[in-house]
Structure 1
């Protein structure tokens, strides 16, 4: 083990052992929500639904081609905040996410890590931009929902409160009576890092590939892991 690797391992150990509350992003660190029900197809269907109602002009060309349903939803909300149109579009996305939960792919080592962390006495919460209904459906299918209940905080119809806004993190901390310094956020995107920074919560990035790792590091994340296995091994020790 090199000196640099030993130092990183020590920092990781400090992050884990200091955390009394662990805030998890959902899609990424816990599972790949759209592994069998692609997000790109959902985005295309949302765009087609808007176009079928004569609302083609609501989206720019870039937004129509983004292949990210969250981009489509946020774009419409910026132009018609709080409208019935946004509410209906959000509900359609929620239904697709709940459907996707049935074929989501578990992130390697996530299930045992969650159970082990809970068993050590730490409290766990979900802080996600996805629908809380989708997160709950997935966790129930894996027998993990009791590890988080009732602390599952996800997308509401106040779409301006999605990460990088720290709203869902602050909701979790407030409900659990936890100080930010006693918590740890695990996320896989720069918006997760930004929300954690705003909430003053220590952050650990999870990246399933080098592209995501690069985005996290360029976004400012200091600690990034490519696997959850080291965390599990440390907790078991």
Structure 2
């Protein structure tokens, strides 16, 4: 074995050991949905959904509800949050949230699974961990997608997502608190896997250990700049670690 290969092997072993130390106490794994589990808008593009929501507001004479940057956003959640801040609890927010949920359900039909997510979910369940979804997407959408992948039983009934209380979206830790309470688990005995700074902030607020998933260099930089200590670019090392036969709980 060359010196470079030896060095790479030692680095890989070191990273696996870090993952093992992080995951060993985790009796419960809280998964963000869009990112670590799948790419929700892989086929039904998020920017198109955002534009449609903006157009729907404009057709109702509500253009002034959004700032210029909000009208140009590529993220439909930005549109929903903006209206929610200005008209909390209103019928307008209820209807807009339902429209976004319908678009997310359409997106779920063409969502792409994150590499290694399906076998990792099944393996983690098989070795005794309990899993929950904690997401800013509709829980109906998470359930729809997981059912198509044959994964719903790995999480059921623990799917915690967007409600009409939009002030409880991440970085608010409400969905994490709901999951921990329902599962009777202390924060220190859980682990959250997320791909955004708001996931990291919610986990910190809930005192839950955090593992960042970054599918590209930009995402990784965002998470590390925000202070994430543990970030992986692939779920494969986690799967390999679980399949090694050594206990993770």
Q: Alpha-carbon deviations, 1:38-61, whole Å to 9, x = none?
A: 000000000000000000000000
- The answer on whether the counterparts of 2:16 and 2:241 sit within 8 Å (CA) in structure 1 is no
Partner of 1:38: 45
- Deviation larger for 10-19 or 107-116: 10-19
Cα deviation, residue 66, structure 1: 1.0
Q: Structure 2-normalised TM-score?
A: 0.93
- The answer on whether the counterparts of 1:205 and 1:216 sit within 8 Å (CA) in structure 2 is yes
Give the superposed CA RMSD: 1.0
Runs of 4+ off more than 3 Å: 1-8
Give unmatched runs, 5+ long, in structure 1.
Answer: none
Partner of 1:174: 181
SS at match of 2:82: helix
- The answer on whether the counterparts of 1:16 and 1:231 sit within 8 Å (CA) in structure 2 is no
CA distance in 2, matches of 1:17, 1:235: 10
CA distance in 1, matches of 2:95, 2:193: 30
Q: Alpha-carbon deviations, 1:72-93, whole Å to 9, x = none?
A: 0000011100000000000000
- The answer on whether the counterparts of 1:39 and 1:68 sit within 8 Å (CA) in structure 2 is yes
CA distance in 1, matches of 2:74, 2:103: 14
Q: Does 1:207 align with 2:214?
A: yes
Partner of 1:184: 191
Of 75, 100, 111, the match for 2:107: 100
Q: Structure 1-normalised TM-score?
A: 0.98
Partner of 1:146: 153
Of 70, 82, 88, the match for 2:77: 70
CA distance in 2, matches of 1:175, 1:98: 25
**Aligned pair count?**
237
- The answer on whether the counterparts of 1:77 and 1:159 sit within 8 Å (CA) in structure 2 is yes
Q: Which structure has the larger Rg?
A: 2
